[in-house]
């Protein structure tokens, strides 16, 4: 899942550095992710994983790192399975 997240970040995140140079726990906003780009990443994630981000996950923290995005996706999938 993290590789898919990284692929989408590379394509939609408009980061000024290569996604491969960013650790999973590193702050993506510090790496150059803009609020606009985070929305583009969110839309790409929704399409890729056939999910919809609930309102409580639509915040900066949910998109702050590869790990945070993976955790948000896991939470969404868990909620869908319930």
pLDDT digits (tens, 9 = 90+) for 2-26: 999 999 999 999 999 999 999 999 9
pLDDT band for position 46 (cuts 50, 70, 90): very high
pTM above 0.85, yes or no: yes
Count of Cβ atoms closer than 10 Å to residue 82 Cβ: 5
> What is d(CA 74, CA 36) in angstroms, rounded to the nearest whole number?
23
Q: Which fold has domain 2-81?
A: 1.10.1200
Which candidate, 13, 12, 28, places its Cα nearest to that of 64? Answer: 28
Q: What does pLDDT average to over the chain?
A: 96
Quick one: tokens of 66?
């590869």
Work out the average pLDDT over 53-72. 97
């Amino acid at each position: 899942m993290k590789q898919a997240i990284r692929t989408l970040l590379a394509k939609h995140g408009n980061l000024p550095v290569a996604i491969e140079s960013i650790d999973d726990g590193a702050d993506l906003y510090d790496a150059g992710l803009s609020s606009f780009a985070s929305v583009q990443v969110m839309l790409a994630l929704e399409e890729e994983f056939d999910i919809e981000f609930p309102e409580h996950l639509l915040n900066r923290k949910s998109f702050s790192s590869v790990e945070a995005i993976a955790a948000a996706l896991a939470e969404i999938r868990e909620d869908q399975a319930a």
